[in-house]
Chain A
Amino acid sequence: MAVAAPPGGRMRRLLGRDPIGYAFVAPYAIFLVALFGYPLALSVYISFFDFFFAAPGAQVARPFVGLDNFAEILGDPVFQRAILNVAEFIVINVPLTVVLSLVLAAALNARLPFRVFFRTSYYIPYVTASVAVIGVWLWFFSRGGLLNDTLGPLAPDPSWLVNEFWAMPIIALVVTWKQLGFYVLLYLAALQNIPKELYEAAEVDGAGPIRRFMAITVPGVRPATTLVVILATIIGANLFTEPYLLTGGGGPNGASMSPVLLMYREGIEQGHAGYAAAMGVILAFAVMTISAINRFVLERE
């Protein structure tokens, strides 16, 4: 049965029941389009050209090269290495982040002395500038640093940051530590939504603290876990500062080179904007795919 269109139907169908809502979302929508949408579209466009940035009005050849940039990148051993590096990073960083932040959040959610102090402590690294924090870690992991002094003869040779095996795990560890506060906060918020009665009922049924954690807390914060996994993956894939500063530009011998650091080197330093843009497109596509898989796996009932 056909329903008659309400008065002014066409306009309403286009703009919805409360057109004023668009006025409220407009500032952010414009911000998003101008600072994310437009550059994203432009970088996809650039990736099909042998592009470099030039002065306005300058006569320069920037030929259309189709998929050449993509083909070249996929065959570039430095890029392949960078992708493997960042995959290694994510494999270490993401599970570690999920486990540590959930355990810490659960602990902070309990009746703990100095709770506020601990909450703040976990959050401080997150809001501190990477550059400042990295200075401390450099000192900790360097050849004559605190860690090696403590380990004595057990210290690896070559030392951590110049060791091809250890450079990437160390970076994953430092980034996990740095970001942890943010994820703890996400989990703390999620924990508020778990009804206390569930814990009480479980306790009456004789469940111990570990059982209660596994059977109530973990499934109770599942939506937050999805968010944490996806965010940690995206942030991890954009790794730049740590390999740039902690291991001296992706060293040793490219063992900690990340795709974004490589994009910076190619696009900004060496002026191959088309090539770097294509890398960005590949990376964005890969991250979106991984996030979609994460979401699918974690959210299915």
Chain B
Amino acid sequence: MSRASIRFASIATILMLVLSSCLGEDGQDGGASAGDGATAATGPIRIWYSNNPEEVAWGEAVVAAWNADHPDEEVTAEEIPAGESSEEVIGASITAGNTPCLIFNTAPAAVPQFQQAGGLVALDDFSDGASYIQERTGDRAEQYKFTDGKFYQMPWKTNPVMIFYNKEVFRTAGLDPENPPLSTYDEFLSTAETLVAEGGVEAAIWPSPDAQFFQPWFDFYPLFAAQSGGQQLVEDGEPQFNNEAGLAVANFWRSLYDQGLTPNEAYNGDSFADQQAAMAIVGPWAIAVYGDAVDWGAVPVPTQDGMDASEVHTFSDEKSSAMYTACENRGTAWEFLKFATSEESDGQLLELTGQMPMRADVVASFPDYFEANPEYEAFADQASRTVEVPIVPNSIEMWQTFRTAYSESVIFGTTPIEEAFNAAADEIRTLVSGS
């Protein structure tokens, strides 16, 4: 090394040390972590909501209504900043200590990680916290408790997934579009065969075969929820997917992949909208998206021997709202959270977005809406039987482990299903125990 470069290196090192000590200090006292008295504190708060136009419209309406009555506790609402995913943005914001008080777009699967990072306020800290959630959501609220028995999220809205199908394709294939034979696995498979042979479509149904951790929520998990009568992937620390129900679902999908009725290659676009697939697994948001372009119908996901529609469970595709520890005026935040999940605000949400509030009985709560929009009623009925992702430690890693096993055994068929599932179950048992 020349003398000049030694000089440069020493100056650079000094600069780096100075800088790291500045950043270190900033990092320590930059966050406003409120003390115990914070649950009562009131004053202005900041919130984030999702950035799709429908939810923005809802957010603006609710915030305006609140601010009109609460001049001293003003709510400032912003769209969640753009990023690879909302979870990444929220995670970074927790680390930086600048989360808003409430985020109306918190994925349940990410809650354990946010909790571990010290980013979330347990809503049980408020005297009426747990009771409010249980009263509003009913029995399903239990699924949203973390393993320590606390609510770090308020179940907010669900997009219960169903099988959406293209009636035109069914007609072309000579199938009855009003009563499609899609209830049992055998019916579904033979219908799928007919659709691909006669319906002029590339695939019967085309869920993404990609390897990301969240993909099972739109292929395996809804059918598993149905087949198992409402079980979660893991219950009381014990993996459930390698049981009889899980294996039946996996074998069903394997048959679809094996017979080429479901391609193992991703579709570059929206296969249902492009009429390349006759069916899709979607929530009620799809009505607004495909409503006019496709002559559609919706049925519950299939089960091995068929089940009455009123008994079929499915994946919730739920989003929660949660309170973050950087929040100082938690008293106001809690009051606003209740205001935003009141029957009136929930009704507005349904009206503006078509998404189902996590209320015990959505259909009975908003009879006028469902009378005017009967196409949403099947989804609303389904919304009362949703299954959530397990709120357990290492939840993302758990899903990734499952997805990897599912990919190799079901999508690509390179490993026997039972072997892959048992191996994944062993790994997942350790992961969710938190060790």
Q: Which of B368-417 contact A (CB under 8 A)?
A: 394, 396-397, 400, 404, 407-408, 411-412, 414
What mask results when residues 249 to 290 of chain A are scored 1 for a CB within 8 Å of chain B, else 0?
A: 111111000000000010011111000000000000000000
- Contact residues in B for A142 (Cβ distance below 8 Å): 265, 268
Contact of B264 among A16, A22, A38, A162 (CB under 8 A): A162
Interface size class of chain A, counting residues whose CB lies under 8 Å from the partner chain: 35 or more
Q: Give chain B nearest CB distance to A75 CB in angstroms.
A: 15
The CA-CA distance from A22 to B11 in the complex, in Å, is 10
A249 and B212 contacting across the interface, CB-CB below 8 Å: yes
* Cα–Cα, bound, A29→B7 (Å): 13
Whether the pair B210, A56 counts as a contact (CB closer than 8 A) is no
CB within 8 Å of A: which of B213-261? 213
A27-47 interface bits toward B, Cβ cutoff 8 Å, 1 = contact, 0 = none: 001101110011001100000
Q: Is A156 among interface residues, defined by CB-CB distance under 8 A?
A: no
Interface residue range, chain B: 35 or more
Smallest Cβ distance from A13 to chain B, in angstroms?
9
A79 to B126, CA, bound (A): 45
The reply to whether B19 and A33 form a contact with Cβ atoms under 8 Å apart is yes
Verify if A52 is at the interface (C-beta below 8 Å from B). Answer: yes
Residue from the list A37, A56, A158, A254 in contact with B27, Cβ < 8 A: A56
Q: How far is the CA of A164 from the CA of B166 in the complex (A)?
A: 34
Cβ contact within 8 Å between A270 and B397: yes
Confirm or deny: B12 has a beta carbon within 8 angstroms of a beta carbon on chain A. yes
Known contacts A33-B19, A143-B265, A248-B208; decide if A54 and B117 are in contact (CB<8 Å).
Answer: yes
| B202 A53 Cβ-Cβ under 8 A | no
Cβ contact of B118, chosen from A42, A60, A251, cutoff 8 A: A60
- Select which of B20, B91, B325, B404 is within 8 A of A42 by beta carbon: B20
How distant is the Cα of A254 from the Cα of B401 in the complex, in angstroms? 12
In the docked arrangement, what's the CA distance between A38 and B119, Å? 25
User: B19 — which chain A residues lie within 8 A by C-beta?
Assistant: 33-34, 38
Task: Given the known inter-chain contacts A29-B15, A33-B16, please indicate yes or no for A54 contacting B408, CB distance below 8 A.
Answer: no
Cα A271 to Cα B119 in complex, Å, equals 13
A162–B396 alpha-carbon span in the complex (Å): 24
Name the prevailing secondary structure of the A interface residues.
loop
Q: For residue B331, which residues in chain A have a CB less than 8 angstroms away from its CB?
A: none
The verdict on A254 contacting B213 (CB below 8 Å), with A33-B19, A34-B19 known, is no
Contact A29 B12 (CB under 8 A): yes
A158 to B20, CA, bound (A): 51
Task: Output the least CB separation between A156 and chain B (Å).
Answer: 12
User: In the complex, A55→B414 CA distance in Å?
Assistant: 42
B210 close to A249 (CB less than 8 A): yes
Q: Check B119–A55 contact: CB distance below 8 A.
A: yes
From A16, A22, A29, A251, B209 is in contact (CB under 8 Å) with A251
Residues on A with C-beta less than 8 A from B4 are 16
**B400, A55: Cβ atoms closer than 8 Å:** no
Chain B residues contacting A269 (CB-CB under 8 Å) are: 87-88, 213, 396, 400
| Interface check A5, CB cutoff 8 A | no
Whether A53 and B91, one on each chain, are in contact in the complex, defined by CB atoms closer than 8 angstroms, is yes
Q: A38-B23, A271-B91 are in contact. Are A56 and B97 (CB under 8 A)?
A: yes
The answer to whether A120 has its CB under 8 Å from any CB of chain B is no
Which residue of chain A lies nearest to B326 when distances are taken between CB atoms in the complex?
A: A55
B31 at the binding interface (Cβ < 8 Å): yes
- Chain B residues near A162 (CB, 8 Å)? 209, 264-265, 412
Docked pose: A59 CA to B31 CA in angstroms: 13
Partner of A138, one of B96, B118, B268, B412: B268
A41 to chain B, nearest CB (A): 7
In the complex, 15 of the A-B residue pairs with CB atoms within 8 angstroms, ordered by the A residue number, are A14-B7, A16-B7, A29-B8, A29-B11, A29-B12, A29-B15, A33-B16, A38-B19, A42-B20, A53-B92, A56-B95, A248-B212, A253-B407, A269-B213, A272-B397
Binding site for A on B (CB under 8 A): 4, 7-8, 11-12, 15-16, 19-20, 23, 27-31, 33, 84, 87-88, 91-92, 94-97, 99, 113, 116-119, 202, 208-213, 263-266, 268, 325-326, 394, 396-397, 400, 404, 407-408, 411-412, 414
Chain A contact residues, CB within 8 Å of chain B: 14-16, 22, 29-30, 32-34, 37-38, 41-42, 52-60, 135, 138-139, 142-144, 158-159, 161-162, 248-254, 265, 268-272
> Can you list the 4 inter-chain pairs with the closest CB atoms, starting with the nearest?
A58-B118, A56-B31, A248-B210, A249-B211
